[in-house]
Amino acid sequence: MKRYSIALALLVVLFIVGCGDEQPEEIAAPAEQPTESIEAAVIVKNIEPQPVVYMEKVGDYSLYPLALEELMAQLDELDIDVTGEPRGIYHDSPEEVPLEELRWEVAVPVDKEPLLPPGLLYKELPGGEAATMIFKGEFTEDNFPDYMALFSWPFKQGRGIAGPLVEVYYMYPAGAPEENITEIYVLLGPGFGEIEITEEAISESAEEVVEEVSASDE
């Protein structure tokens, strides 16, 4: 329980992903659309497992639009049907990991595992209960989701986080970026009860870690 206290106390996350000019054709947006583009409203919903073809990337998250264009071009050449909206999967916090070392994936849904060339991968994104936010509009410096609200919410509810940040892009034709809808979620882990974030709890947890390391060296 104390280690979850450290995780929450040190949690600082900010992801800003740009949207490129070339975007997939319009598709139906999720029902839970916000009335204010930057108003954080975390809801819990069940995410279905989703088979995807994806590419692994390292570097600036803002390169996502170019990576999506690259992935779509390869799938078109391979005559592989895309069955849903594109996804971005983000494993690291830009506040904690150097820009050039950020790990992420660009993915699109497919209905079955296809034969793929080197560089393209297949997996099933896990489903389950998730903390979710719906964001409307273009990602800009002055208009972006409240990621801190999303990441802190599970811990406030006595839950953990069971996977990376996933963004699902419901993108509209060029010329209407203000109508873009992004569904953002993290899968919820098992409950661990209420936690209290205090300096004393953090200090005691740090002492436990030091004691464990010291014991292992003896």
Sequential DSSP letters for 70-114: HHHHHHHHTTPPP-S--EEEE-S-TTTS-GGG-EEEEEEE-SSPP
When divided into structural domains, the chain yields a total of 1
pLDDT in tens, 11-33: 323 233 333 333 333 334 454 44
For residue 34, is pLDDT > 70?
Answer: no
d(C-alpha 165, C-alpha 170), whole Å: 16
Question: For residue 112, what are the contacts with CB-CB under 8 A and spacing of at least 6?
Answer: 51
pLDDT digits (tens, 9 = 90+) for 82-139: 999 999 999 999 989 999 999 999 999 999 999 999 999 999 999 999 999 999 988 8
In this predicted structure, the answer to whether residue 199 has a pLDDT above a threshold of 90 is no
CATH number, residue 92:
3.20.80.10
Per-residue pLDDT of 134-185, as tens digits, reads 999 888 888 888 898 999 999 888 888 999 999 999 977 666 888 889 999 9
| 217 pLDDT above the threshold of 60 | no
Q: What is the CA radius of gyration of the chain?
A: 19
Query: What per-residue confidence (pLDDT) applies to 140?
Result: 83
Domain range for 30 is: 2-217
* Burial class of residue 216 (count of CB atoms within 10 Å of its CB; 0-12, 13-18, 19+): exposed
Q: For residue 161, give the H/E element and its range.
A: strand 159-161
User: Which residues sit opposite 187 in a β-bridge?
Assistant: 130
- DSSP letter assigned to residue 1: -
